[in-house]
Chains A and B, each alone.
Chain A
């Protein structure tokens, strides 16, 4: 589970609110002491987290910063509004697939069929809509449901037979790809309506500046309200709570990022619809995972299937649902990818798509061993992968180098994951 650097929680016995301090020897002294204590505590918390293997998303953010700085120094247009805007749209398709992968990784399994499912869903949509005249919304819905069905079948087989999911989905990879080739038939390529609903998923921009700024403001306000409400309730029942300054800082950082993003996007064509949908899905599913009974079950399965079973959880149900979600997200991602190139062909969903989706989740910090990770990690990981790809394209680097670098980042992420898991265990045994 994601841990936040939060001193109030790490030291549950002492509320860290400075305004509860009553006696006052001298203002300066008190302040100096409070600061020293605060710094000490932060260092202690950081050290404990480091040794306990809870690095959070810090390494990922550092890697992203390094990638951006490198490419910006190589090519001045890397951080230009135009490039960043395109980057954000490119992230959406594979990113949505990676979000589904996070669910599967959380229960300690792997889904290899997402590439094929994304291609199949896009093919179903294209053939129904373009070749058979089915209304676009209906064709898209059927395409997505195809993905859900494929995922459900795989999930159910996995849960019932207890064959590892990567084997079941490997069979799926071939099967769904076969279905897609059959549906597309001899012609092989279907061009989508350039002005249709699906095409506009990735070509529509909110040109009104107010949209991006407004949403940034709303997001920051919501985060602040939720944190503040939590603090109020904790305070009311006498439990440790976050300091107001902590909440303001946290919201402030978020607001700065959101408004900078909005500003840059508005300098190009405005907020891309694809980015908005992607962020909404990531945030929504993050809430499902970390704030609902359903999500808690997924994490529990990643920790210990046997413990979950003994706690009366429906293991079969959760496993099936997780692969169904992954299939659904793959299908939605497939529509976005088709929308980006306004066509569906026999190569849709093939190539490095599957590997990129898995790599994104892992690079972002979702553990391969299950039980640790968030949907935001998929977004961050995908941003890194896409940044490397975009930077390489700008600097005319051959694809071979791009693969090697992405592979190196993935390897580093896996090593960090494995090391932090080991140190966490060692910590427990100590």
Chain B
């Protein structure tokens, strides 16, 4: 039997009120692979991230971790499994400083009190790996630039050595140099055996980095591609709906990987 995927979604549905935002979603993330999740605005990509990270649990369907069905009902569950997320809106507390945000919910303590020195040391260490221009660690994050905030959010996701990383447009606010640094980092993480789900609108990045691509359209799967063999046109036409994909074929597609 082949090794099961690190994380798999089987027939996941999510509705907000009467609107079904996600319908019968299938997705597999293997260790040491980068899966690009593509789709137009409003396709349901961020909603899918929220489902996996426990922010908005699925209504139907199962999530499997290394082949076993696991309940992900709240953010805590996902974190305990080793799933870390960079949300599209970053989900930082603007009034807390960089160190406070990185360690929120898992502060290091010393004699029962916060160990600011140790937390600051680790924060600096982590950020230096990510970027050359480390921001002031003690200013509230509202007063950082969008790019700096994004870097902080990425650093936070790496803090506890996750096994699956969900990146929702992690380079949207980043400059040229910064984007390259983050993509290099994702590359390194893949080599270290992490499974990465990368949401991006930049086909160039997807082509350069991803192993596979899954396309969402109007809340449904609309094709899976091997990025190395599929052409860019093929993928884009699937995203825009030029090739309205047959949902039935998709399941067999998925199993062939």
- Residues of chain A at the chain B interface (Cβ within 8 Å): 1, 3, 9-10, 12, 52, 230, 233-234, 237, 239, 287, 291-293, 296-297, 299-300, 302-304, 306-313, 370-372, 424-425, 427-428, 430
Q: Is the CB of A309 within 8 A of B55?
A: yes
Contact in complex: A291, B120 (CB < 8 Å) = no
Q: Which residues on B sit within 8 Å (CB–CB) of A307?
A: 91-93, 104
Within 8 A of A (CB), among B51-95: 53, 55, 74-76, 79, 85, 87, 91-95
Asked whether, in the complex, the Cβ of A302 is within 8 Å of the Cβ of B143, the reply is no
Given contacts A1-B97, A239-B120, A293-B114, contact A312 B91 (CB under 8 A): no
Question: Which residues of B94-153 have CB atoms within 8 Å of chain A's CB atoms?
Answer: 94-97, 100, 104-105, 107, 109, 112-114, 116-117, 120-121, 124, 136-140, 142-145
How many Å from the CB of B16 to the closest CB on chain A?
Answer: 15
B167 to chain A, nearest CB (A): 15
- Given A299-B96, A312-B79, A425-B142: A239 in contact with B117 (beta carbons within 8 A): yes
Beta-carbon contact of A292 and B114 below 8 Å: yes
What are the 3 tightest A-B residue pairs by CB atom distance, in nearest-first order? A303-B93, A371-B95, A303-B95
In the complex, what's the smallest C-beta–C-beta distance from A89 to chain B, in angstroms? 32
- Are A424 and B143 in touch, CB under 8 angstroms? yes
Give CA–CA (A230, B113) in the complex, Å: 13
A296 near B107 with CB under 8 A, answer yes
Hey, which chain A residues are within 8 Å of B121, CB to CB? 237, 239
Q: Indicate if the CB atoms of A303 and B96 lie closer than 8 Å.
A: yes
Can you pick out 19 interface pairs between chain A and chain B where the beta carbons lie within 8 Å of each other?
Answer: A10-B138, A237-B121, A239-B117, A239-B121, A292-B112, A299-B93, A306-B91, A308-B93, A308-B104, A310-B91, A311-B75, A312-B75, A312-B105, A313-B105, A370-B95, A371-B96, A424-B143, A428-B143, A428-B145
User: Are B55 and A310 touching (Cβ within 8 A)?
Assistant: yes
The answer to whether B142 touches A424, judged by C-beta atoms less than 8 angstroms apart, is yes
Least CB separation from B92: chain A residue: A307
In the bound complex, residues from chain B placing their C-beta under 8 Å from that of A233 are 117
A387 to B113 CA separation, bound complex (whole angstroms): 35
Give the B interface residue count (CB, 8 A): 37
Give Cα A12–Cα B145 distance, bound, in whole angstroms.
18
Closest B residue to A426 by beta carbon equals B143
Residues of B near A300 (CB, < 8 A) are: 93, 96, 100, 104
How many Å from the CB of A152 to the closest CB on chain B?
23
Partner of B75 from A3, A296, A299, A309 at Cβ < 8 Å: A309
Which listed residue (A296, A304, A370, A425) contacts B92, Cβ 8 A?
A304
**Measured between alpha carbons, how far is A348 from B100 in the docked complex, in Å?**
41
Query: Most chain-A CB neighbours within 10 Å: which of B97, B137, B143?
Result: B143
Residues of chain A within 8 A of B139, CB atoms compared: 52
> How distant is the Cα of A370 from the Cα of B95 in the complex, in angstroms?
9
- Report the nearest A residue to B87, measured CB to CB: A310
The reply to whether A9 and B104 contact each other, CB–CB distance below 8 Å, is: no
User: Chain A interface mostly helix, strand, loop or mixed?
Assistant: helix
Query: B38 → chain A, closest Cβ, in Å?
Result: 24
CB distance from B31 to the nearest CB of A (A): 24
Q: Min CB distance, A263 to chain B, in Å?
A: 33
Shortest distance in angstroms between B138's beta carbon and chain A's nearest beta carbon? 5
Q: How far is the CA of A310 from the CA of B166 in the complex (A)?
A: 14
A391 CB → nearest B CB, Å: 35
Residue in B85, B92, B105, B113 whose CB lies within 8 Å of A292: B113
Question: Is B95 a contact partner of A1 (Cβ separation < 8 A)?
Answer: yes
Do B120 and A296 touch (CB < 8 A)? Answer: no
CB distance from A62 to the nearest CB of B (A): 23
Chain B hits for A308, CB < 8 A: 93, 104-105
Neighbouring B residues of A312 by C-beta, 8 Å? 74-76, 79, 105
A307 vs B85: C-alpha distance when bound (angstroms): 12
Closest A residue to B79 using CB positions:
A312
Q: Which residues of A contact B91 (CB under 8 A)?
A: 304, 306-307, 310-311
> Given A1-B100, A239-B124, list of 20 further CB < 8 A pairs?
A12-B124, A12-B136, A233-B117, A237-B117, A291-B113, A293-B114, A296-B100, A299-B93, A299-B100, A300-B96, A300-B100, A303-B96, A304-B93, A307-B93, A308-B104, A310-B53, A310-B91, A313-B104, A424-B143, A430-B145
Contact assessment for A302 and B105 in the assembled complex, using a CB-CB cutoff below 8 Å: no
What's the least CB distance linking B55 to chain A, in Å? 6
Q: How far is the CA of A371 from the CA of B124 in the complex (A)?
A: 24
Complex interface: chain B residues within 8 A of A313 (CB): 104-105
Point out the residue from A9, A424, A430 that lies within 8 Å of B140, measured CB to CB. Answer: A424
A113 to chain B, nearest CB (A): 26
CA distance A272 to B220 in the complex (A): 71
User: B144: which A residues are within 8 A, CB to CB?
Assistant: 428
* Complex: A424 Cα to B76 Cα, angstroms: 31
Q: Is the CB–CB distance between B114 and A296 below 8 Å? A: yes
B212 CB, min distance to chain A CBs, angstroms: 27
**B143 partner residues in chain A, CB cutoff 8 A:** 52, 424, 427-428
**Chain B positions 167-219 with a Cβ under 8 Å from a chain A Cβ:** none
Which A-chain residue is minimally distant from B77 (CB atoms)?
A312
Given contacts A12-B136, A239-B121, A239-B124, contact A428 B142 (CB under 8 A): yes
Nearest chain A CB to B241 CB, angstrom units: 31
Return the contact of B117 from the options A234, A291, A428 (Cβ within 8 A). Answer: A234
